[in-house]
Amino acid sequence: MASANSTYGQKETSDQNFDYMFKILIIGNSSVGKTSFLFRYADDSFTPTFVSTVGIDFKVKTIYRSDKRIKLQIWDTAGQERYRTITTAYYRGAMGFILMYDITNEDSFNAVQDWSTQIKTYSWDNAQVLLVGNKCDMEDERVVASQRGQQLSDQLGFEFFETSAKDNINVKQTFERLVDIICERMSESLDNNDPTITGAKQGPQLNEQPQRSHQDCAC
């Protein structure tokens, strides 16, 4: 948790070879394909049936971004209502969220608003969220039009992807986009950090007295 918090996940465990570690959470209703999505990305494999996740599970993938090794620790969560309290506890350390629904399931889409509220309540202020409509290979059974997903994501201020873990559509792109957003946010926050580092050098200076420089002749 807090380990990932530490100054934006800069390396703090010496046992791993990476420059940054990003913690990412995949959330969404039960059986929208969170586990499949993760397996597709981490192992590039697909099985039509994964055992329903109990509690929380994770996978690791290391990627490169501008010569930096970024270790992604991706936590896969159980979608069942009953697990909400357990999984939301993990929200706080996460730097990115993939909020997933199933385009063939109206309920899972309707729950997105709810999940997003959960993120706002329990996560870090600057956690980044992507909205993902999964199972876009099952066009025949689609009940959530692509536009609706887009609309909702605009409304929530998230970026949006339709994906298929089965046909490997947009899976990698989703993760990479999320990493990019986190990186952007990180450098932004580092830039903003400068006034913190330099103290009062920016903004109006309170200590600054109407003092003349050394030529002051007390007159």
Partner 1 sequence: MAADSDTESEVFEITDFTTASDWERFVSRVEEVLNEWKLIGNSEEKRLSEKSEFTSGTWEENFEEINFADFKFEITYHFLKQEHVKSNKKEELEEDAVPLAVQNLLSENNDFPPRAHCLVRWYGVQEFVVISPGSNCEAIISESKCNLLLSSISIALSNSGCQVPVFVQIQHKWRRMYAGECLGPGLRTDFEMVHLRKVPSQYNHLSGLLDVFKSKISCTISPVPPVSIAIRFTYILQDWQQYSWPQQPPDFDTPLGGEVGGVEFGKLPFGACEEPISELHLATTWPRLTEGLVVDNDVYSDLDPLQAPLWTVRVRTTENPQCLLGDVLSEFFKLCCIKETAEEILGRGMAEDEGKENSDISSALSKLTEPSATVPIHKLSVSNMVHSARKHIRRQRHMDESPLNAGILNTILLYLFPDAAVEKPSEYTKTKSEQSNTPGKTEQDKNSDNLFSQLKSAPSDSLTYRLALCLSLVNYNYGGLRAVAHVWQEFVLELRYRWENNYLIFGLAGGSPDLRCCLLHQKLQMLNCCIERKRARDDARKVLDEGKERAHRESGSSAAAVTSTKEVSPGKSWDSWSDSEEEFFECLSDQGDMDAPQTEEEKTGSKRKAEGRLHQYNSMNLLNSSEPLYVPVTQEPAPMTEDLLEEQSEVLAKLGTSAEGTHLRARMQSACLLSDMESFKAANPGCILDDFVRWYSPRDYVEEEVVDDTGSLVMKGHLSARMKIPGNMWVEAWETARVTPARRQKRLFDDTKEAERVLHYMAMQKPADVTLHLLPCLIHGTILKLKEEEATENIPSVQISLQQVVSQASRLMQTPARDYKRLEEFINRLIAMETVITQARSLKAKFSICDKAENREDLEIFVRSLLEEPEVLVIGAGQGPAGSIIHRMFVSAQRAAVLAPLDEDLNQERQSTESSRVPDFPSPAGREILLRTCVPRPAPYSKALPQRLFCVLLKDEFRLAGAFSSDTCFF
- The binding track of 22-51 with respect to partner 1, each residue x by CB under 8 A or -, is -------xxx----------x-----xxxx
**Would you give the DSSP letter of residue 164?**
B
Q: Which range touches partner 1 (CB under 8 A), out of 86-94, 111-119, 131-139, 169-177?
A: 86-94
Report helix angle 112-122 to 146-156, nearest 10.
Answer: 20
Under rule CB under 8 A, residue 57 binds partner 1: yes
DSSP 37-61: HHHHHHH----S--PPPPSEEEEEE
Q: How many residues bind partner 1 (CB under 8 A)?
A: 60
Which residues 129-168 are close enough to bind partner 1 by CB under 8 A? none
44 Cβ contact list (under 8 Å, min separation 6):
168
129 vs 26: CA distance, rounded Å: 10
Q: Which residues contribute to the site for partner 1 (CB under 8 A)?
A: 1-3, 5-7, 29-31, 42, 48-60, 73, 80, 82, 85-86, 89-90, 92-93, 105, 107, 122, 124-125, 189, 192-193, 195-197, 199-200, 202-204, 206-207, 209-215, 217-219
